[in-house]
Amino acid sequence: MIFQRIARKLNKITARYYLAFPQQVQCNICGWQGKHFISDDWHENVICPQCGLDVRHRLLWASLREIEAFNLEKLVQRKQVLHFAAESQFSAKFSALAANYKTADFLKTNYDYQLDLSDMSMIADESIDLLIACDVLEHIPDHLKAIAEIHRVLSRDGCAIITVPQKDHLVETVEDPTIVDPQVREEIFGQVDHVRVYGDDFPSFLEKADFKLTIIDKTSFSEDLIHKWVLFPPKLSTRPLATNYRKIFFAQKN
């Protein structure tokens, strides 16, 4: 009896605590709620402490759940899906809906395919309904060939979901294949395994490859959802190569 009274008292204290300090943010992917997310080396309070996903991941999931033209039922349900560098948190969700869901990566072997995005010769023409490549192209030496390969394997009504880190206010993409030193690459491109840093001209690469492009960013959602799900960094990073303004590119095959 005494333990039950103590438990009831603790529950009341906990309830008063949450009323006094309401939950301010929520991960729209795993459901975690709290006062704020945790920080990484680039941004403050952007990483979900439970699933470890970032602004771009929550922005992608918000697009698939909130934007009618690109919802899960239209893009994933009963579709042939190929997902590069797949996050396990998304794989479980996509595989439950897709007719056939496969993962791929160039270096890692714990995926269905060990595959180069710029040379997918093992994938037949027009055999994929949805291809997902989030933050992949900046690692690939010939990204134009990779974009052409994406176009080739997509079905006639197919769609690619693509993200890349874009340096804030950089007009043109910067790349230099002669830079091979990892430390220099990190200084210029932001990461040791990046071969370029994208600018505002990234959409032109997709449009020139005959994709119809729709760009989703924080402006596609209400202020309430932006703050609740943290679809934009609460505090802008001042680092020179910061990518504060993340975007989701839905590239539909013409």
- Pairing label, strands 113-114, 100-105: parallel
What is the tens place of the pLDDT at every residue in 79-122? 999 999 999 999 999 999 999 999 999 999 899 999 999 999 99
223 has pLDDT over 80:
yes
Per the model's pLDDT, the better-predicted residue between 137 and 23 turns out to be 137
| 8 A C-beta contact, residue 23 and residue 34 | yes
Least confident segment among 82-91, 178-187, 212-221: 178-187
Using alpha carbons, select from 199, 203, 200 the residue that is nearest to residue 213.
203
| 8 A C-beta contact, residue 32 and residue 49 | yes
- Is the whole-model pTM more than 0.85? yes
Give the Å distances, CA to CA, from 4 to 7, 9, 10.
Answer: 5, 9, 10
Q: Give the rounded distance of the alpha carbon of 81 from its chain centre.
A: 16
